């Protein structure tokens, strides 16, 4: 018996390297999510070309063409519904979403953030991790809630911070971890193994913590 794969959209604003990792994972027909749409709020985002090259439908909904956030989001929502989307992955999507959109997609909307939440919410996470002198840094896939860079954590990956790291070298190490983490996290959500309970994600059968990746 085959199980239906969850129809998934990826929302991007830029280069789309996490998007590319998700597309690669979903190219395997046994993966529990199928990518049915890549949508960018920025015309010409490099990720759009990468998605098109992978044979996926792409769409630009330029936020600048709308008078306010909600009308932009209503256009995004209509595109997602038209494509039959069940799950939405934010992958470097640099627009803050309104409570309306978040409520509409609650439990079906995940994001990747380049820090070990709840540390370093917001921007410039790698600079701030170095400035604080933390020795472990990483990335988090989480459900989206109205608070920015908060919400039930699906999975995290940790990397070391080395003494001679610059924000760029640390960002590159974290990005590699992101590319391993996001496909794992989407698989957990799409397969129904990761479920939100009382504001936290419970992963079925995670006695060995498959949702925590350590450095290679
Ligand atoms: C990634 O590092 C992602 O974690 C970050 O933007 C980058 C996008 O790269 N997202 C955020 O900072 C969201 N708060 P990509 O376009 O190559 O995937």
Catalytic annotation present for 113: yes
User: What is the CA(66)–ligand 1 centre distance, in A?
Assistant: 24
Q: Is 26 left (phi over 0), alpha (psi -120 to 50) or beta?
A: alpha
Q: For ligand 1, atom 1, which residue shows the shortest CA distance? A: 92
Q: In this predicted structure, what is the pLDDT of residue 3? A: 72
Give SS3 for 64.
Answer: helix
Token pair, residue 113, equals 């953030």
**So what's the pLDDT on residue 28?**
98
The whole-number pLDDT of residue 81 equals: 98
Determine which one of 113, 137, 142, 143 is catalytic.
113
C-alpha span between 23 and 29 (Å, rounded): 11
Burial degree of 139 (CB within 10 A; 0-12, 13-18, 19+): buried
- The closest of 176, 98, 79 to 137, measured between CA atoms, is 176
Q: Is the CB of 112 under 6 A from ligand 1?
A: yes
Note the pLDDT tens digit of each residue in 48-95.
999 999 999 999 999 999 999 999 999 999 999 999 999 999 999 999
Q: What is the mean pLDDT of residues 171-181?
A: 98
Q: Do 66 and 114 contact (CB within 8 A), yes or no?
A: no
Looking from the CA of residue 17, the nearest atom of ligand 1 is 17
Measured CA to CA, the distance from residue 20 to residue 31 in angstroms comes to 15
pLDDT at 215: 47
Quick one: pLDDT band at residue 212, thresholds 50, 70, 90?
Answer: low
pLDDT given at position 207 = 56
């Amino acid at each position: 018996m085959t199980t239906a794969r969850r129809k998934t959209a990826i929302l991007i604003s830029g280069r789309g390297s996490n998007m590319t990792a998700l597309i690669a994972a979903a190219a395997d027909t046994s993966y529990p999510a199928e990518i049915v749409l890549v949508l960018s709020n920025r015309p010409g985002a490099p990720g759009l070309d990468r998605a098109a090259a992978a044979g996926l439908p792409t769409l630009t909904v330029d936020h600048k063409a709308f008078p306010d956030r909600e009308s932009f989001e209503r256009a995004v929502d209509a595109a997602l519904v038209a494509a039959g989307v069940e799950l939405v992955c934010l992958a470097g999507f640099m627009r803050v979403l309104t409570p309306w959109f978040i409520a509409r997609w609650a439990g079906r909307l995940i994001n990747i953030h380049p820090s070990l939440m709840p540390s370093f919410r917001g921007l410039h996470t790698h600079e701030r991790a170095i400035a604080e002198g933390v020795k472990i840094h990483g990335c988090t896939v989480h459900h989206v809630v109205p608070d920015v860079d908060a919400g039930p954590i699906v999975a995290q990956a940790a990397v070391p911070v080395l003494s001679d790291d610059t924000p760029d070298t640390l960002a590159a190490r974290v990005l590699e971890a992101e590319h391993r983490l996001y496909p794992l996290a989407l698989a957990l959500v799409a397969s129904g193994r990761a479920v939100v309970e009382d504001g936290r994600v419970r992963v079925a059968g995670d006695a060995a913590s498959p949702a925590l990746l350590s450095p290679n």
